[in-house]
Amino acid sequence: MRPIPILSAAGTRTIEAIARDRTLLVLDFDGTLAPIVDARDGAYPRPETRALLRATSLLYPCAVVSGRARLDVATRLEGVPLVAVIGCHGAEPGFGPLDRRLAATVVGWRERLEELRDLPGVELEDKRFSIALHYRRAPDHAAALHRILAVAGRLRDARVTCGKAIVNVTPLGAPTKGDAIQALCRRLGARVAVYVGDDRTDEAAFRAEVVSIAIRVGQGPDSSASYALPSQEAVDDLLRALLAARARQDGRVEWSGLVRCVVEAP
C-alpha cells in the first residue's frame, strides 16, 4: 500500500489527531533530523531544524533513537529538551541497566572484521554495542558492499542490516528501535507514539505495536510506514505542522510568539 503524504490534506487530519492526544514524538537522527553527509562527524541538524525541534519539545514529549552511540547523538542535540536520547539502535536507552553481554559479543567480532580495514574508503566504527561499517567514501560501492557482507555474514550471533552506504552489525537478541520505543512509552505512560525515520534500520520501529503513526523520510522500497515525507528538508515542515496543530489545541499558546522566542534563543 502506498504511503500517505503526511503534509497532504489527509495527513493534516492525522496531525490534528496527534495534537489532541498525549503523543510521544520519536525521531531518527541521520537522514531525519540531520542531513546525510560524507563525513559522519559533520552531521548536525540545520539551525532551523534545531530551533523547530526545541519548540516542538516544549509542546510534545520528544525523543531521538539513533544508530549512533548515545553520547555521540546527545552531544549533537545539546540544549534540546528531549525526554530521552537512545543510542545503538536501542541498546543504549539512557535508563535502566545496560546488557554488557552485548558488548562482549561485539568485542569478539573485532578481529574478524579487521580484514576490512584494507578496503579503500571503508571505515569500521565500534560503538560498543554494535559495529558500523561505512563505505560512503569507497571508490566502488558495489564491490565494498559485497566484501563487507561476505565478512560480516561469517560472524556468529550477528544481525546484519544494510543502510545508506553503511552496514550495521548488531548482536542477535539486542533491542531494536521498536523495542526501545515500546519501553519508553511504558516508562512515560504515553498512549500514542509517532516515529519518523529514513532507513532500513527504522523498519522495526515502523512495525512496533506502540507506533500508531509511522512516517518514512524519502522513498523506500517495501516500507512498513503508512505515511511519508518527500525529503529530509521536509522534516522542518512536519515540525512546523505539529507545532501549529498543538497551538490550535491550546488557546493559551501564541504560535508566532512561541516560534520567535525559540528561534531567537541562544
- Please report, for residues 27, 105, 169, 180, 215, the alpha-carbon distance to residue 109 in angstroms, rounded to integers and kept in the order given: 29, 7, 10, 24, 34
- Told to judge if 30 belongs to the known catalytic residues of this protein, a careful annotator would answer no
Our measurement of the distance from residue 76's CA atom to the centroid of its chain's CA atoms, rounded to an integer in Å, reads 13
Across the chain, the runs of DSSP E, i.e. the strands, are: 4-5, 23-27, 62-65, 84-86, 123-126, 131-134, 158-162, 166-171, 192-197, 211-217, 227-229
Q: How many CA atoms lie within 13 A of 216 on its CB side?
A: 22
Q: Which grid coordinates are listed for 243? A: 507545532
Catalytic residue among 21, 28, 157, 179: 28
Whether residue 124 contacts residue 148, with contact meaning beta carbons closer than 8 Å, is answered with no
Grid-cell match 548515545, residue found: 70
Instruction: Return the exposure string of 185-221: e unless at least 16 CB atoms fall within 10 Å of the residue's CB, then b.
Output: beeeebebbbbbbbbbbbbbbbebebbbbbbbbbebe
Residues 35 and 48: beta-carbon distance below 8 Å: no
Q: Which three cell numbers stand for residue 65?
A: 533513537
Enzyme catalytic residues: 28
